[in-house]
Amino acid sequence: MRAHRLLLRGAVPALAVRVTLFAVSVAVVGIAEPFPLWFWVAVVLAGVGAVFPRTFAAWGVIPCVGVAVLSSEPEAWRTAILVLGVHLIHVLASVTWIAPWSAWITLSAMRPSFGRMLAVELIVQPVILVIGLIPRVSGAGFAWLAPLGALAIVGVAMLMRRVHDEGEQPR
């Protein structure tokens, strides 16, 4: 008996997505420059997450990046790259979570996920740029920005939820 094979145009093997997840995770952690212990913890988590996605280990790389950012001097360009990288880790981890090793994933199936990522990044990256332009002040000089930022985040979340809910209503 002969095995049949379905050929898909514009598809990548799930293995390629897993390798990309690992490579992006290691690159993002390398840019974040954490303490050596956190670097190796993140590399192990990235490897485990790429091989065994159901462990959710790939998402464990994200807090390692956060720890590195909090323990280093802030730089707007690095923060922008890390936010994009963390978002990419999340999207790739989500794809590997649902795709078995033998799967071929069409690029059109990944388009909605990457489209949402692009939409969020188009909002977030300019905000990072503006925050990077704010002069650093020791003490509580800009402490009033924290609650203002929290209100802005809540407002954007509520707006996104409303748009999402309106899109799901039957016509």
Residue 96 lies in a domain: yes
Residue 144 lies in a domain: no
Sequence-ordered list of residues with C-beta below 8 angstroms from that of 14, at least 6 positions apart, any chain: 96, 99, 100, 101, 102, 103, 104, 105
Comparing 65 with 143, the larger pLDDT belongs to: 65
DSSP 8-state secondary structure symbol assigned to residue 2: P
Residue 170 lies in a domain: no
DSSP H helical segments within the chain, as ranges? 14-32, 36-51, 61-70, 76-98, 107-133, 145-168
Can you tell me whether residue 57 is helix, strand or coil?
helix
Residues above pLDDT 70, as percent of the chain: 88
Q: How many domains does the chain have?
A: 1
C-alpha pair distances (Å), 36 with each of 61, 70, 84, 99, 148: 14, 15, 22, 32, 35
Tokens 């039957």 sit on residue: 170
pLDDT recorded at residue 83: 93
pTM (2 d.p.): 0.76
Residue 80 lies in a domain: yes
For 90-103, the pLDDT digits (tens) are 999 999 999 888 88
Residue 133 lies in a domain: no
For 101-144, the pLDDT digits (tens) are 888 888 888 888 898 899 889 988 998 888 777 776 666 666 77
> Cα-atom radius of gyration of the chain, to the nearest Å?
19
pLDDT recorded at residue 2: 61
Confidence grade of residue 156 (pLDDT, cut at 50, 70, 90) = confident
- Is residue 84 pLDDT above 90, yes or no? yes
Span 52-59, mean pLDDT?
Answer: 92
C-alpha pair distances (Å), 99 with each of 13, 49, 61, 130: 9, 13, 20, 38
Domain of 39 in residue numbering reads as 11-117
Residue 123 lies in a domain: no
DSSP 8-state secondary structure symbol assigned to residue 75: -
Residue 125 lies in a domain: no
- CA dihedral over 70, 36, 44, 116, signed as positive or negative: positive
pLDDT recorded at residue 88: 95
